[in-house]
Structure 1
Amino acid sequence: MPKEGTGATPFHLIYGGEAVVPVEVRVESNRLQHYVEDNAERRLLELDLVDESRAKAAILLMAYRQRMKQNYNRRVIPRLFQVGNLVWKKVKPIGDVTKLEAPWAGPFKVVEKLRLGAYYLEDEDG
């Protein structure tokens, strides 16, 4: 199946053509019925164009990623904290964690603002 980001199948980007699935061999699809021995020239031409199709897929992928980034950033609510604020920290589950355990730890005190969205935290107790 062609990928949404590139518009091409991974097989096509690697080999420059589409794969022949076993069903097509058995049923003799339209593609196989029109195959002739001089298709070697056509195959060489496809291989010459594979670099262009890869470059086109890279451009499409960059545009797709940019659209995904814009869509994600449109829904993100930026949160800014000041030194001294009390915050909760999201805990990533490790080991045998059940879904009923709290996904947050804290409260923690913001000790230092490192950069946009990054903070140095300290346990509230000290």
Structure 2
Amino acid sequence: MNGVVEATNNYVKRILRKVIDNNRYWHEKLPFALLVYRTTIRTSTRATPYFLVYGNEVVIPAEVEIPSLRIIPEAELSDAKWIQIQAENLELIDGRRINAMCNGQIYQNRIVRAFNKKVRLKNFSHGQLLKKIFLNQDESKGKVSPNWKTPYIVSRVMTGSALILAEIDGEVRPKSINSDSVKKYYI
């Protein structure tokens, strides 16, 4: 959830950067930036956040003052008929939200497929020589020292890309290690 909030904040900041002339009066433009954010159709859901919350598309103040084709039919309705149409729209909201959720899942699956096309799996086997890469410099002693230790031997391959390594002398290391932090050792 925290990632969603950060993404939203970054998106709103990007909109604000496009709208403001100087940084001193950004707070005056914030409502307009939020309106833009809430009324922009998302690729993932194919709907606006405003629509998903309220079930209707937003009516901007200019459309109320100068009636548009979308507003004129509603303006000529009686109160009872308008209430009936709004009640029917409320019944349709759940279906539209389910459609948006399905579109979101389809979008996520498309993103996962695109990502997985670029992933190359590392296959390790028992007895293979590897070198452990230091991801942080804490284990290494200085900036000019090598970023890997003497070669290790794969003692056991576990599920989820975890490996149990053994020293060259045969001593098995007690902790498993992620296969992302090792490379094949070539003699």
Normalised by the size of structure 2, how large is the TM-score? 0.48
Q: What pairs up with 1:58-73 in 2 under 5 angstroms?
A: 58-73=101-116
Q: Give the one of 114, 130, 138 matched to 1:85.
A: 130
Structure-2 change in CA distance of 1:12 and 1:106 (3 Å): same
Secondary structure of residue in 2 paired with 1:35: helix
* 1:33 Cα deviation after fit: 2.6
- Unpaired runs of 5+ residues, structure 2, are 1-39, 137-142, 164-175, 178-187
Deviations 1:66-96 (Å, cap 9, x if unpaired)?
A: 11111111111112345651132545xxxxx
Q: Give the one of 91, 97, 113 matched to 1:48.
A: 91
Q: What pairs up with 1:2-17 in 2 under 5 angstroms?
A: 2-17=41-56
Q: RMSD of the TM alignment (CA)? A: 2.9
Paired letter, 1:42: I
Q: Distance in 2 between matches of 1:16 and 1:30?
A: 19
Secondary structure of residue in 2 paired with 1:85: strand
Please state which structure has a larger fraction of its residues in helix: 2
Secondary structure of residue in 2 paired with 1:17: coil
* 1:50 Cα deviation after fit: 0.6
Structure-2 change in CA distance of 1:19 and 1:89 (3 Å): farther
Structure-2 change in CA distance of 1:49 and 1:89 (3 Å): farther
> Is 1:115 matched up with 2:159?
yes
Paired letter, 2:56: G
Identity of aligned residues (%): 24
* 1:16 Cα deviation after fit: 1.0
Paired letter, 2:73: H
Normalised by the size of structure 1, how large is the TM-score? 0.67
Match of 1:39 in 2: 82
Match of 2:62 in 1: 23
Paired letter, 1:63: I
Say how many residue pairs are matched.
109
- Unpaired runs of 5+ residues, structure 1, are 92-101, 122-126
Task: Answer whether contact 1:84 1:111 (CA < 8 A) is retained.
Answer: no
